[in-house]
A = this chain, B = another copy of it.
Amino acid sequence: MSKIHHFTGTEDHFDWENVTPLHYTSDSIKDTAGKIMIGADDGAEHFVFRYFRVEPGGHTTLNDHHAHPHGVMILHGRALVTVEDKQHELCPRDVIFVGPWEHHSFAAVGDEPLGFLCVIPNLDLMAKLENAKQK
């Protein structure tokens, strides 16, 4: 079954119909909030579309690293992206692939909030694949 989430936000505050907020509590994350735009509730078995908003001065988890990769498109604002020991500045519409286990973080640059789409594989699916590889 297809599922639509219409954009219901403004230029200053992105939002969509019927999306699920993501809450994080960690000392190494600052002024970042997320939403699941397409996920298991929509019947998506393979990937998850998340939107993250990072307030000016904020950042996602510092030095985050995990088995799942990220496919990211910047939607608004500017990002200082740290991957391993390199830093890159990204602008709206730029895309970045962050590979498995690469240390990474996304910080807002300047006075505007940063917003980006971040796609990950479904984590249950990743586990199934690992199991299949080991058989």
Residues of A within 8 A of B (CB): 1-7, 9, 14, 16, 37-38, 42-47, 49, 68-69, 71, 73, 75, 83-84, 86, 88, 90-99, 102, 104, 117, 119, 121, 125-126, 128-129, 131-132, 135
- Beyond A46-B69, A69-B44, whether A14 also contacts B129 by CB under 8 A is no
Q: Which residue of chain B has its CB nearest to the CB of A19?
A: B95
Among B9, B49, B71, B86, point to the contact of A38 (Cβ < 8 A).
B71
**Set of chain B residues within 8 Å of A45, measured between Cβ atoms:** 69
Among B4, B121, B129, point to the contact of A94 (Cβ < 8 A).
B4
Among B42, B90, B117, B135, point to the contact of A73 (Cβ < 8 A).
B117
Q: Which residue of chain B has its CB nearest to the CB of A104?
A: B2
- A96 B3 Cβ-Cβ under 8 A: yes
A76 to B107, CA, bound (A): 26
**Set of chain B residues within 8 Å of A5, measured between Cβ atoms:** 94-96
- Beyond A7-B92, A128-B129, whether A71 also contacts B119 by CB under 8 A is yes
- Beyond A93-B7, A121-B47, whether A129 also contacts B132 by CB under 8 A is yes
